[in-house]
Amino acid sequence: MIIIEVEGLDKSGKNSQSELLYQALHERGYNVQKSEFHRYDTPTGQLIRKFLDGEYQPNQLAIECIMAADKYAQLDWFEELKKSTDILILDRYLTSQIVYSSANGVDVDFILNLLEHMPAPNFHVFLDIEPEESMKRKGKWGENDKYESNQELLTRVREKYLRIIELEQEDGKALILDGTKSIDELHQEILARTLAFVEFEKVA
């Protein structure tokens, strides 16, 4: 199973592009599934939503452990998908927790060790927008939450994202796109690169 994570700052278009990619791959006959992190309908996800909305304020290490637990709660689901799924598309996954936690001052080794037993993504799509663009866009949760409204944090997050994704791109395992392009233009680029990567993986 190929895991594709779609990453970017808040409101960079991850959800839209994940859905479009899912539909396009499904229409081409791939057994494809789609999900997102975090899952706000789960007990751990509800705690994360309360944290982002300022209703629950644990220390940063505690929230990182809760965010990791939210992923590990889906580990059996990952294992079950492997039996029948060609491609899994995730709207945010491991890289987002690595960069946001690091931008919040958490030691990166702590996060890497915390997440080491989760399946690694095979391909990364990064929709790059400036923090100012992220902050002015309207999100599905209404007013900007504590991360979405912190320009200094978003600036650090973007820098860390680019540092990681650029290395993956050099290895042919990532795609960095200008997130201000049109929805259709971004979709066509993501689809073309995804199909090429999937075909390469079949041969490799």
pLDDT digits (tens, 9 = 90+) for 66-103: 999 999 999 999 999 999 999 999 999 999 999 999 99
**Structural domains in the chain?**
2-203 (3.40.50.300)
Do residues 56 and 34 touch, judged by C-beta distance below 8 A? no
Do residues 106 and 60 touch, judged by C-beta distance below 8 A? yes
d(C-alpha 120, C-alpha 78), whole Å = 11
Please, which pLDDT band fits residue 60 given cuts at 50, 70 and 90? very high
The pTM of the full predicted model, rounded to 2 decimals, is 0.93
Per-residue pLDDT, 145: 77
Averaged pLDDT, 18-29: 98
Q: How far apart are the first and last CA of the chain?
A: 14
Tens digit of pLDDT for each residue in 140-175? 655 777 888 889 999 999 999 999 999 999 999 999
Do residues 39 and 74 touch, judged by C-beta distance below 8 A? yes
Per-residue pLDDT, 140: 60
Contacts of 29 (CB under 8 A, 6+ apart): none
| CA trace torsion 135, 90, 71, 176 (10° rounding) | -60
